[in-house]
């Protein structure tokens, strides 16, 4: 894991030089990844225990292994991680997150409700901010609420990810946690599409001619667009539900995509999709 972190930090430095516009966001990601590794090591027990007897029936029935809304999970470790993540924002804007941290620590703010609100948030709720600068629309609090669960969900994915993939999971949401994807990748010679879960880090194969969000398979209502003749990046859109997903394709350049990084360095694609009316 330490080698993976080292390689990822090198990739971030490369992207900083390649696109200075995203330098600040990438610096934030850098700090997050270092802190994430620390919390991976600190996890002593499963935050999200899985009843292994139910795994086959859940996956066969299209149910993710973890239902965040229904389980009575102890979120004390994710809360501790979240409060540490807030320091990253506090360094950049003193006073901005101090009050939130105090309310959570004092029990005035229900941390579980904050997490659930971020996890199940309406993808269209940020419409008012769509015309602002990418960095302004990149909400750090929402990012940290997602991130604070990542080490615990990664633990589940490490244990049961292979079982999920063997089950031939065919849903457009994550088989581990149920989170909808924001980005995916085209891989292998035959050009299979894989979706990526930012919440737990797992990738799973998904049909290319199908919307992950509404299940639409009508080719005439599914499309994609690219930007600046760069075929490595595209946005798959559905004209039935008006949703989109970003896709990277590094097969020609033989690069290995880090989708945590790519999700940040393709924020301009999110802006373009919003301008075209997609959520």
The three-state secondary structure class of 217 is coil
In the block, residue with structure tokens 């590794």: 37
Tokens 């299940």: give the residue: 215
Nearest by Cα to 177 from 196, 192, 195, 157: 157
Strands (DSSP E) contained in 126-220 are 183-187, 192-196, 203-206
> Taking the CB of residue 41, how many other CB atoms lie within 10 A of it?
11
pLDDT cut 90: percent of the chain above it:
82
The pTM (predicted TM-score) of the whole model is: 0.91
Q: Please give the pLDDT value at position 93.
A: 86
* Residue 185, helix vs strand vs coil: strand
Residues 184 and 194: beta-carbon distance below 8 Å: yes
Region 137-162 average pLDDT: 91
Is the pLDDT at 81 greater than 70? The verdict is: yes
Quick check: 145 pLDDT over 60? yes
Question: How many residues does the structure list for the chain?
Answer: 279
DSSP annotation of 172 = S
Query: Angle of helix 140-147 relative to helix 111-119, nearest 10 degrees?
Result: 100
- The CB-side HSE value for 38 (13 A sphere, CA atoms) comes to 14
Residue 187's DSSP bridge partners are: 192
Looking only at the bridges linking them, the beta strands covering 244-248 and 233-238 are antiparallel
Pairing verdict, β 183-187 and 244-248: parallel
Provide the percentage of residues in the chain whose pLDDT is more than 70: 93
> Three-state DSSP class for 187?
strand
pLDDT on residue 182: 97
pLDDT of residue 125: 45
CATH class of the structural domain 170-279: alpha beta
């Amino acid at each position: 894991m330490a080698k993976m972190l080292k390689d990822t930090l090198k990739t971030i430095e490369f992207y900083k030089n390649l696109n200075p516009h995203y330098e600040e966001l990438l610096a934030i990601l850098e700090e997050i990844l270092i802190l994430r590794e620390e919390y991976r090591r600190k996890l002593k027990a499963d935050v999200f225990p899985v009843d292994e007897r139910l795994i086959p029936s859940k996956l066969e029935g299209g149910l993710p292994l973890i239902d965040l809304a229904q389980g009575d999970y102890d979120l004390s470790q994710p809360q501790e991680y979240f409060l540490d993540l807030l320091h990253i924002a506090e360094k950049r804007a003193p006073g901005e997150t101090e009050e939130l941290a105090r309310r959570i620590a004092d029990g005035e703010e229900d941390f579980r409700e904050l997490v659930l609100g971020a996890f199940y948030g309406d993808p269209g709720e940020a419409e008012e901010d769509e015309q602002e600068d990418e960095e302004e629309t990149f909400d750090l609090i929402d990012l940290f609420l997602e991130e604070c669960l990542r080490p615990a969900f990664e633990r589940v994915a490490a244990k049961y990810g292979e079982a999920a993939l063997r089950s031939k999971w065919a849903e457009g949401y994550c088989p581990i946690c149920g989170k909808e994807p924001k980005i995916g990748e085209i891989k292998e010679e035959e050009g299979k599409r894989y979706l990526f879960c930012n919440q737990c880090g797992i990738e799973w194969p998904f049909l290319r001619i199908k919307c992950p969000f509404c299940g639409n398979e009508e080719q005439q209502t599914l499309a994609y667009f690219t930007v600046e003749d760069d075929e490595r990046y595209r946005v798959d859109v559905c004209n039935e539900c008006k949703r989109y997903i970003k896709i990277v394709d590094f097969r020609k350049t033989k690069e290995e995509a880090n989708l945590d990084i790519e999700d940040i360095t393709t924020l301009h694609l999110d802006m373009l999709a919003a301008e075209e009316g997609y959520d």
